[in-house]
Copies of this chain bind each other. A is one copy, B any other.
């Protein structure tokens, strides 16, 4: 799947992943109204609203980008109906041949991580049958528990040709509270980067590893260091746009071939119509605003990489 991701990035010339993280207040009123008319102001109604919202965006951008990244928390907050909308979104993105990165940030002791890996990237056995629970292509993984918590994901990645992105340096303001602490003169994020490089060497695709890393756009200098520490890891870069990262900050995350990184934008794309720059599209044409925001982001990144 890392090979497919790299191929699609080359083909679209857009190292961009669209974060499908719908808050209900991003969903235009006409979609909310229709969903509530059908299902009531219920969890099912909310789930219908975010699913229709997502579908509009996917239909509008699927030819421009290689991948999408639904953040499962935004669905999980609506309980079971929300998770059904998550699964519908994953399945629909596959129909559109998009690579789906499940932003699930799971991680646990070995046997438990194995269950998450099976549920999100693999197939679970029931009697003599096998079923994929959610069937994303990639998942994000939290490494706080060490190798035990990551290895079961690697096993499934090798079996199913899927991939993971391990949290190394996250984009949020307080990420340094633990991740920047120095151990023998070396920050924790570098130590995690070295672990990603080691894990990754055990699961190589053609040019890059099945084991990638998450490094926030908001910390470009650390991105530069981590790029060198993990030469074979694809870096998933959140924090562009709404969180404050700019195109010029991103160059350090890429390697000299202009590959090796994929930049996520969520709110900046899916809620573009709420941004002054795209207000002319209006709420009815929210998906067109999202398409324009992708094109602008592509130009920004291509400009920075030149």
Taking Cβ atoms with an 8 Å cutoff, the residues of A that contact B are: 21, 24, 32, 36, 41-43, 45-46, 71, 73-74, 76-80, 82-84, 87, 105-110, 112-113, 115-116, 118-120, 124-129, 131-134, 142-149, 167, 170-179, 181-184, 188, 191-192, 195, 238
- How many angstroms between the C-alpha atoms of A42 and B176 in the bound complex? 44
- How many angstroms between the C-alpha atoms of A84 and B179 in the bound complex? 35
Closest to A192 in B: B178
* Given known A-B contacts A105-B107, A112-B73, A126-B41, A145 and B133 have beta carbons under 8 A apart: no
Query: How many protomers of this protein does the assembly include?
Result: 2
In the bound complex, do residue A178 and residue B144 qualify as a contact, i.e. CB atoms below 8 Å apart?
yes
Choose from B21, B146, B174 the contact partner of A146 (Cβ within 8 Å): B174
In the bound complex, do residue A124 and residue B170 qualify as a contact, i.e. CB atoms below 8 Å apart?
no
B-side contacts of A182, CB under 8 Å: 183-184
In the bound complex, do residue B79 and residue A119 qualify as a contact, i.e. CB atoms below 8 Å apart?
yes
B-side contacts of A80, CB under 8 Å: 80, 83-84, 87, 133
- How many angstroms between the C-alpha atoms of A82 and B120 in the bound complex? 13
Choose from B87, B129, B142, B148 the contact partner of A144 (Cβ within 8 Å): B142
In the bound complex, do residue B133 and residue A149 qualify as a contact, i.e. CB atoms below 8 Å apart?
no
B-side contacts of A191, CB under 8 Å: 178, 181
B-side contacts of A177, CB under 8 Å: 146-147, 195
Choose from B21, B131, B238 the contact partner of A79 (Cβ within 8 Å): B131
Choose from B87, B145, B175 the contact partner of A170 (Cβ within 8 Å): B145
In the bound complex, do residue A76 and residue B115 qualify as a contact, i.e. CB atoms below 8 Å apart?
yes
Closest to A44 in B: B126
B-side contacts of A124, CB under 8 Å: 43, 46, 77-79
In the bound complex, do residue B79 and residue A134 qualify as a contact, i.e. CB atoms below 8 Å apart?
yes
